Structure 1
Amino acid sequence: MTRQSRQMLIGLQLGNGYGSQPMSWRAPGVDPANYTSFDAQVRYAQAAERGKIQFFFLPDFAGLTSDVTNDSPQLTLEPLLTIAAAARATERIGFVATGSTTFTEPYNLARQFKTLDVMSHGRVGWNAVTTSDPNVAANYGAQIAPRPERYQRAHETIQIVQSLWGSWGEDAWLKDTETGRFADPDKIVPINLQGQHVASRGPLPIPPSEQGQPVIFSAGGGEYGLGLAGRYAGGVIGATFSIEDARAQRESIREAARAAGRDPDEVKFFAGVMPAIAPSVREAVDRRLRIGEYSLEKRLPYLGSMLGIPIEASRLDRPLTPEQLSAARPSPFDPRAPRALEVAREGWTVREILAHGVIDYHPTPVGPASVTADHMQEWFEAGAVDGFWVSVDVYEDGIDTFVDEVVPILQERGLFHTEYEGSTLRDHLGLPRQYGLDPRLH
């Protein structure tokens, strides 16, 4: 076995009780009642922990926009409560939950996430995001503020949250039954922070966890997102379809960290991947065809726009004609388009092209577990990522498949660890301890 000094990090996406594909609730072996089953969430977390996965990543959307006639919503149960259930049934795996800086007060965020961090013995991260969807805003009786204002509030919120986390001194809790001194009040102090958008007096009456305080994650892009990630994030959840773009995103984040006065190695960049795993490419495509039985046809118009040609519904179960392939031009506005044309030229039917995941939100390696492992190895060794967040198509069997088939290949190649080296999320990510605000920021 070849052993590398640098090894990749892996997180798994956890959205609902079914999987990342819209029709995963109808997949063979899936209990349709998993929509509200915390037992299912716990089972998935335990399976991931068996594979030494560093963390589960829980995105969030505080609203309902999907057509529930056939599709299940992708983001359902409240993520912090989901973590509470799963953390009590696991010992080592970390949990990163999304929390909005736009519609949550900093004291609430500080209290909830630090409570979870204490409950889990230091295994929690906060994916701090601004909210830009008007459907979510409507659920809070509000409207979406301009982007600069939302990000200004985000900066203020994160600074207040971290100040609150540090407001109970690390050695303030005495627990001295002999003298009767419970805590040292001189080491538990208000923060008295007032910004333009949010404020808090403090202190927060919660001692540190084993990792001190939760790890900040970020999922935003662009100038504003880079500013947030560079100053605060220990992990960045990315979306990219090429090694070149991933490498550019990672370096931009690292440069933003340098500019903020931080060590760029303390910011880990995770690219998404949505594998379709089966013993062969044919079987992997058939699996996706079964899962997407009712949803693939809805994607047909978008496939046509990606390739710059009209595709009639009558051609769903036939390959594109030579004339269509000759006329096809990948859209310069969609980075997935070249892959879609590549698959089309292999002679697959239109329905099978879609089943290759060419319109998925992240790259979709299709075929045996080695194909997914090869994809991850290529990106990692090219310096494009520090790791991946993996969106499994059907959790019920897909997490076990990833853990039992992909992980051992990565371990055999020396690309992924074989055991947890520590007990906290910071340990898993190789991040230094932090308590309160980062004093290096400028």
Structure 2
Amino acid sequence: MKVLTAKSVQVGPDLAAWFDAGGGQGLEQALADPAGIISCLESAGLRGLGGAGFPTWKKWAAVAAQPPRPEGGGKWLVCNGNEDEPGTFKDRFLLSSTPHQVIEGALIGAVAVKANQIALYVNAHEAKMLPALHAAMDAWRGHPILARVAQEVGAPVQLQVCPSSGLYVGGEETAAISSVMGKFPFPSLKPPFPAEKGVYGAPTLLNNVETFAHVTHILRHGPSWYRALGIGEAVGTKLYSLSGDVLRPGLHELPMGTTLRELVFEHGCGILAGKQFKAVFTGGPSNTLLTEQELDVALDFDSLYACGSRLGTGAMIVVGMGTSILRKTAEYVGFFAANSCGQCPSCKIGTYQVSRILERIEAGAARQTDLAALENLARLLPGSGRCGLVDGAATVLRSSLQTFRSEYERALQN
């Protein structure tokens, strides 16, 4: 079951060890049947694992349908490993411990969409893993299979590692494209979408690190095998980043559709100091809070959506009784405010104002009108920015107000 984190694939930059462990078979299958790659992913039901959950095959098909743009370098493929949101740490594990399954997945993507430019876009804060990534890329450059990929793509394949700006907003796909081009990571309006106009104006495929890692195994074992790994209607496995008030925080690869209760109390071994469960920030701090009533929800895209939340990156930040939701909300909104690129006034000013009011309420220096102001901002801010940053701040604010309003009221009475 543990496909991505199995010890047999934690071989670092050693490409020979990766092939000895069965690596390369997915790419061989892709080269044997390039036209079948996208339909294979469609049959597998793979969705983007960076947060949005968009069907992977649709994005790949859109890029494959575009002609290359020679003046933009042909076609680009960007593997997004910016990962800078609190509570999310799956991509850094994959890139540092098992980079070859990610690179192989990217090469399969290149074959599918005929991309000749491949960029590993990684968080600049993770400087320690950069030498290993460069070594892994060098190993592929020197391997004969890369020439076969180039032959199928129809152009020499260029592999590069692109450190990001280190900013959270740089993970948004249009901001990532801007950053790969050496510019400030300003998100841009869509359309046009990256599939039509991405890096240097060329058609660009952009997926998350974990998504490409799954591709490798789907091509190797087939879509039926992948679907059987999930629970119920969910497919495959998922890396859940578990943190917060749990006894055993860490990265857990489990079947997609595992319940929140199982993740927290079996794999996370329960709440610290024997306390009771209070809530969890699902998919990182930019989604709706879930409480004890939702402990049996399945952790997959559709089940969480039906519950009014999102799977996001799979990060689960657990809060136990005794930990203030108001304090955590203030902390996370402060993060969003500090990471706004400043391009959209509603985001730059709105998140800053929300952060100031939350700090004032927590300090006992607020009035009832401040609570009304927060409610208005939670209603007005969503959809007002070019990217999802302001939406995330508004979502966690609105959720905390709805679910833990008593904490706000108590702080106002002090």
Larger RCO, structure (CA 8 Å, separation 6 or more): 1
Normalization by structure 1: what TM-score?
A: 0.27
Question: Which has more helix, going by share of residues?
Answer: 2
Higher radius of gyration, 1 or 2: 1
Normalization by structure 2: what TM-score?
A: 0.29
